A and B are shown apart, each in its own frame.
Chain A
Amino acid sequence: MEKYLWAIPLLPLLGAGINGFGALTGALSRRAVNIIACTVVGIAFVLACLVNWELAQQAGHGGAPQLVSTWFEWIAAGSFSVDAALLVDPLAGVMLLVVTGVGFLIHVYSTGYMAHDPAYARYFAFINLFTFAMLLLVMGENLVLMFVGWEGVGLCSYLLIGFWFTDTEKAYAGKKAFVVNRVGDFGFLLGLFVLYWGLKEQGIDATLSIVGLREIVGANAISGAVITTVCLLLFVGATGKSAQIPLYVWLPDAMAGPTPVSALIHAATMVTAGVYMISRLSFLYLQSPLAMTVVACVGAATALYAATIGLTQFDIKKVLAYSTVSQLGYMFLAVGLGAFSAGIFHLVTHAFFKACLFLGSGAVIHAMGGEQDIRRMGGLRAKIPYTYWTFLLATIAIAGVFGTSGFMSKDEILAAALAANPDYTLVPGWLLYSIGTLGALLTTFYMFRLVFLTFFGDFRGGKDLEHHVHESPWSMVVPLIVLAALSIVGGLMNVPEILHGDERLHHWLSGAAPSVARVDVVGHGAEIGLMVALQVLILGTIALAYRMYLKSPAIPQRAAKVLGGVPYRLSYHKYYVDEIYDTLIVRPLHSISRVFLWGNVDVKIVDGSINGMARVVRYASDLLGRLQTGQLNGYAFSIVVGMVAILAYVAVK
């Protein structure tokens, strides 16, 4: 009965197959590719809605809603067994809607954005394939299947970042993304192994099935050391996929891919996989306050750190990339606090406004004929009004202005930090709250800096470019409008109690990922007070950005100078982290391998000693051969010497 669940991931896979065939043979027209690519994702979205509806029905009848569909036993060796099975609970249901819904909009947008690209079919094959892998990640019933999707999205990310592969830089960025993700996956794999054998060691029938694990963790007291190790190792995987400190370095470079890809993969879906994974395993993480605290702290640190880099970037997509890293930090902060529904809520609203921002930036780049440097933009407001308005609305949302979706979700996270449950959070909540608030203000600042520099003031790109600027086709504009609308009103799905809302998403997720950060430490009044204060600060920040970048554009330069250049340069050069990794890890590894391992160990020592042995043998046999001179005199002489020696030996003895 629940077999139809498989249609959700398999439809995009089918699309990928057909479009891939089209890409290799050139047998499909652009129109055909369009229709196939969008239809499969569209149907998947409809099915995802049906699934959620069915879950809601189940919930109505009481009990924990959940759909499981097992297809076949995939890997089995001894007592280890993994099924090809899907599991949809409310948490996965929400993710399904995001992946297929936002995914569908981005597919539609892509038909316009990529319309003139010669490798059209290949693009849609990859992006369909991505959708398949992402859905597998979301729906996988066990950690191994989740890992299949996990690596699968990484592969598609690699393929799409390097989509324009004739550009060496872009191909390099794709490879970097894959390798950095592999570092994370290394942690993920080890996490699975520790989990499996850790359970076995306690005499438990180990499994990697999520449903099974939930039962096991519920019924047994598992050693804390094992759980903490598992959670931390899995989190290493999350820092790779979701671009957190220290593995975030690939995401800014990933902007080399086509912009819709940045919106889909590097903002709305794939990069949130880590947040989703932790929520999906909330029952495990809740057993380890240490791991939870690490997650929260890394999230908070990343949120602030990436925001400081966003302040100084000039590439429109780089600003958004660092913003994404920062916003993902908020999500980790939330799930680390045990506020899983807040994390997922922010994941959803972020999918709306960040997808809108990326697609908007794509429309800007499209309008600008490929230009991405905001120093060459300005005054685009009047030329591309739809893009401008949607971009502005999404910016208002990400800044957290009252009433928008961004406000609702970010406020929820900050409230959770303030009310952190000391049983799960080993650092003071006010500290996380302060970091989060500071990051929120920085976000407001760099986002409005971006808006003012791009859309306001005078055009700085020169006359030729100015004539080129044009609004995008409807296929691109409509998704922008939909996403902008969702950015504003999307928060209604989870209006906080403090605003007399009914917190629908929170309740919907309470079974799959129960939130624990709900300890009232500050009163209602104080919470309202802080909320109002933050709103005032946000508006003030917008005003500041307005003054700095529109009223008196000299201020930023002055500010850069006043700050002595050092903090500015650090931020502008992204704290030189890429360079540090390059100098400390990449280069040494290469030179050690080339010069020491290959040049010396392999060629000289190992092979040399063997060749040396061969030479010794040859030399020795040469020497022995020389004794065989064929001269009788020589032989006779040796015989005499030998006999004398023997006689002497006997005589002495």
Chain B
Amino acid sequence: MDAFEPIRYNILSIVTFLPLLGAIVVFSAPAKAARVVAFLFSLATFAVSLVLWFRFDPQVAGMQFLARYYWIDDFGITYSVGIDGISLLLVLLTTFMTPIVILGSFTAIQDKIRAYMGLMLLLETGMLGAFVALDIFLFYVFWEAMLVPMYIIIGVWGGPRRVYAAVKFFLFTIAGSLLMLVAILVLYFEYHDTVGAGTYSAYLLDLYQVGLTPKLQVWMFVAFALAFAIKVPMFPLHTWLPDAHVEAPTGGSVILAAILLKMGTYGFVRFALPLFPWAAVELAPTIRTLAVIGIVYGALVAMVQPDVKKLVAYSSVSHLGFVMLGLFAFNVQGIEGSVYQMLSHGLSTGGLFLLVGVIYERRHTRLISEFGGLAKVMPGFAFVFMIVTLSSIGLPGLNGFVGEFLILLGSFGAAPAFTAVAATGVILGAVYMLWMFRRVMFGPVDNPANRGLRDLTRREMWVLAPVVVMIVVMGLLPKPFLSRMEPAVKDLVTTIQRESGHAGIAGRQADGPALVAQEPHSNR
């Protein structure tokens, strides 16, 4: 055992808690330094997390960088962290976006800077923790912990209706979480009564072994799914999102869209699907229906929004609908597409909120009708906005296409009719995004307030450049990302096939031909 062994063993914990350390430093540092200190800590976190990317073994399906410590011994509760290819990518998304958000908030936040920056870092630890946690109670702690900083960020630095939005955000999420907590307890005791043979464990890989009766699975799945569906958000549980986005400060919106929403979809991947595969297959038609409604409905409502932020918020409902549809295809293409879309959506929608923040800082309005002809006064801004817009509407060659294509391809194999309806979202996506782009960017500059607007500053360019670069890279070279998640995804697909009790059908869905949607019939 060499001297670096402890560092290597605890690398995930270091990534997770480095922001927390940063938060402590920021809280105790002078207010003037808060911005830079926070930025440096988030940057350092990103740098360390890159180690994960390079040291990750793409051939392995199981958890890597595993670290386990006893925590509450008598109850079998441990501190267990580890990542597979799916959580690896989401961890990197988080560490990648956080410095961008912090740098992006340098001028937007003038009030209580220390608190804001500290909370951002706290939030990062919460999110990272939720992605790496392998103990279900640990997960729950992080899951709840990240709620608080976000609640405060919206409630303190938000717009005029910030308190309403913050409370709504909080209540929605907590309602789902409590249901999930009950389900977690049931699962925990089920383990004790069955496979655990009298011992307790909250370790996720142990809990995967619990074989629940179909009826119980359905109840448990519903409880977990509700908690996650609120976060995603799935129609009709989405109404907290437009309010939260509109009221949140730019940084809050970016984090919310780029990462927090992924908590919901990640929850499905990590918990709801592998823990309750039978119920997942059983209830797939319902989820698919809601996903497709979300896609079309979100797009249609986005189309008529007068406020840019609301438009982007509803577009998220639509895009996340695609993710859900892909997950419930239960095949490699669909699920890989979904995970890819999670990353893509993080970049493109995060980018959009950053861009909206840029003009909000200049004009203090987000109403589309207030703008027009900005491409004339801010050509650099228009260029970046165009690329991010195209990424959002899934232009081939940029990141959005890869995920969307794989999702639709996979989902078509499982449920062609649903997919055909969902694919209209591709048309509608172009409609609302280009409608907004035309109204904001093109046309004459007839509002005098828009005349001498300053183009992107150097700092803003640094904020946006990494996003643009990744949008292009992930569009042209998806392979390194896809290959890293593939073993984990294949594993998940096999689990669902095996455990769902519909091996024949799921087998066809996994990679096999299925032009006609096969509804699982219960045979257990």
Residues in A lying within 8 Å of B, measured CB to CB: 23-24, 72-80, 144, 147-148, 151-152, 155, 158, 162, 165-168, 171-172, 174-175, 178-179, 182-183, 185-186, 189-190, 192-194, 196-203, 589-590, 592-594, 597-598, 601-602, 606-607, 610, 614
Query: Among the interface residues B172, B412, B435, B483, which one has the most CB atoms of the partner chain A within 10 A?
Result: B412
Q: Bound state CA distance, A185 and B429, in angstroms?
A: 13
Take A201-B513, A602-B301 as given contacts and tell me if A162 and B479 are in contact as well, using a CB distance cutoff of 8 Å. no
Q: Considering the complex of A and B, which 7 residue pairs feature the smallest CB-CB distances, nearest first?
A: A78-B332, A201-B513, A171-B442, A200-B513, A193-B412, A148-B396, A165-B442
The distance in angstroms between the C-alpha atoms of A75 and B515, with both chains bound, is: 22
> Does B420 belong to the interface (CB within 8 Å)?
yes
> For A589, what are the chain B residues with a Cβ–Cβ distance below 8 Å?
300, 303
Q: A76 and B483 in contact (CB under 8 A), knowing A171-B438, A190-B420, A589-B300? A: yes
Query: Within the assembled complex, what's the spacing in Å between the Cα atoms of A306 and B308?
Result: 39
Report the nearest A residue to B394, measured CB to CB. Answer: A151
Cross-chain contact of A594 among B304, B375, B443 (Cβ < 8 A)? B304
Q: List 10 A-B contacts (CB under 8 A).
A: A75-B405, A77-B482, A78-B331, A179-B427, A186-B427, A196-B413, A197-B416, A201-B514, A590-B304, A592-B300
User: Are B423 and A151 interface neighbours, CB within 8 A?
Assistant: no
Cβ-based interface call for B468 (8 A): no
How many Å lie between the Cα of A182 and that of B432 in the bound state? 13
Contact B416 A193 (CB under 8 A): yes
CB-defined interface of B226-253 with A at 8 Å, one 1/0 digit per residue?
Answer: 0000000000101100000000000000
> Which residue in chain A gives the minimum CB-CB distance to B434?
A175
**In the docked arrangement, what's the CA distance between A194 and B271, Å?**
32
The stretch of B189-197, B199-207, B362-370, B376-384 in contact with A is B376-384
Return chain A residues, CB-CB under 8 Å to B144. none
Q: Which residue of A lies closest to B238 (CB)?
A: A606
Secondary structure call for the B interface? helix
Contact of A147 among B301, B396, B410, B419 (CB under 8 A): B396
Task: State which size class the interface on B falls in.
Answer: 35 or more
Q: Are B478 and A593 in contact (CB under 8 A)?
A: no
A194: chain B residues within 8 A (beta carbon): 412, 416, 515
Residue positions of B touching A, CB distance < 8 A: 171-172, 236, 238-239, 297, 300-301, 303-305, 331-333, 336-337, 373, 375-376, 379-380, 383, 390, 395-397, 401-402, 405-406, 408-410, 412-413, 416, 419-420, 423-424, 426-427, 430-431, 434-435, 438, 441-445, 476-479, 482-483, 486, 490, 511-515
| Contact present for A598 and B304 (CB under 8 Å) | yes
Task: State the CA gap A598–B413 with chains docked (Å).
Answer: 32
Pairwise interchain contact B482-A200, C-beta atoms closer than 8 A: no
Q: Give the shortest distance, in Å, between B165 (CB) and chain A (any CB).
A: 12
Q: Among B397, B478, B483, B511, point to the contact of A152 (Cβ < 8 A).
A: B397
Closest Cβ–Cβ distance, residue B330 to chain A (whole Å) = 12
A166 touches B373 (CB 8 A): yes
Is B513 in contact with A78, judged by CB distance below 8 angstroms?
A: no
Q: Indicate the member of B336, B390, B513 with the most A CB atoms within 10 Å.
A: B513
Shortest distance between the CB of B209 and any CB in chain A (Å): 26
Q: Contact: A597 with B300, CB < 8 Å? A: yes
Q: How far is the CA of A178 from the CA of B490 in the complex (A)?
A: 37
Bound Cα distance A183, B412 (Å) = 18
Q: Find B479's partner among A76, A167, A593 (CB 8 Å cutoff).
A: A76
B424 A165 Cβ-Cβ under 8 A: no
Determine how close the nearest CB of chain B comes to the CB of A171; give it in whole angstroms: 4
Q: Can you name the residue of chain B whose Cβ is closest to the Cβ of A226?
A: B515
Neighbouring A residues of B375 by C-beta, 8 Å = 165
What is the CA–CA distance of A202 and B373 in the complex, to the nearest angstrom? 54
**Are B434's CB and A24's CB within 8 A?**
no
A24 and B376 contact, Cβ closer than 8 Å, known pairs A175-B435, A592-B300: no
B443 interface neighbour in A78, A168, A186, A192, Cβ under 8 Å: A168
B406 cross-chain contacts in A, Cβ below 8 A: 75, 77, 80
- Considering the chains assembled together, what is the distance between the CA atoms of A200 and B442 in angstroms? 46
> Given contacts A24-B380, A166-B443, A179-B430, are A78 and B336 in contact (CB under 8 A)?
yes
A75 CB contact (under 8 Å) in B416, B419, B479: B479
Contact indicator B479/A183 (Cβ below 8 Å): no
